[in-house]
A = this chain, B = another copy of it.
Amino acid sequence: MSLLHKLEWRYATKKFDPTKEVPEEQVTELLKAMNLSASSYGLQPYKFIVVKDKNLQEQLVDASYGQEKIANASHVIVIAAKTSVGEDDIRAYINQTAFLRKQQIEELEDQKSRIMSSVSSWSEEKKFSWAQEQCYIVLGTLLLAAADAKIDACPMGGFEPEKYNHMLGLKEHGLHATVIAAIGYRSIDDDYQHAIKSRRDLDDIVELRYS
């Protein structure tokens, strides 16, 4: 199936089949894909919380304006942004890079200084919105990775982040629930799977500036 077909196949699943579970090996593949997502300066200012616990999922329904798909989904993946990226994160990134590339930390000193000087010039608000933006790149990666594996997903912004932060104990770890994806397999009763995808015409959404 071509990439365009995969994108056509996927849709924001409204109703999952509660009897079907995504195998753990496949969940791991999705998480690996998310971990390979691009991020600004490579800093990956986020964490992925995977919920597979019917009691907790039921509680999260209340924090998601009553949307039952959170309970019916096989797993719920919460992409949580770091609320304040700082020196420790940059140092951890540089250390990890040096380790993986078998380099001396000193060889990465310029890169480290460059990132430090950018990030330290940002307001706390800017750091937070920047971290949240990176979470949305991950979401784009996840949706395609799920479609590639024929796993259904519903990306969701309709939830109360503060309640999620509380229920999942995120705030005390400097994290904020930014966006979530429920994953599983579409119920045969979900009529939305038959709906024609609504998108803008290509020549409305694209503008070419060619010489």
A-side residues, CB < 8 A to B, are 3-4, 7-8, 10, 12, 28-29, 31-33, 35-38, 40, 42, 44, 46-56, 93, 96-97, 100-101, 129, 132-141, 143-145, 148-149, 155, 157, 168, 179, 195-200, 202, 205-211
Residues of B within 8 A of A3 (CB): 29, 33, 144-145, 148-149
**Interface residue SS majority, chain A:** helix
Q: Is the CB of A4 within 8 A of B36?
A: yes
Q: Is the CB of B210 within 8 A of A52?
A: yes
A16 to B180, CA, bound (A): 35
Q: Is the CB of B35 within 8 A of A8?
A: no
A101 CB to closest chain B CB (Å) equals 5
A96 to B196, CA, bound (A): 11
Q: Is the CB of B199 within 8 A of A35?
A: yes
Q: Apart from A52-B208, A96-B199, list 4 A-B contacts with CB within 8 A.
A: A4-B33, A35-B206, A54-B211, A138-B140
A143 contact from B38, B199, B202, B208, Cβ within 8 A: B38
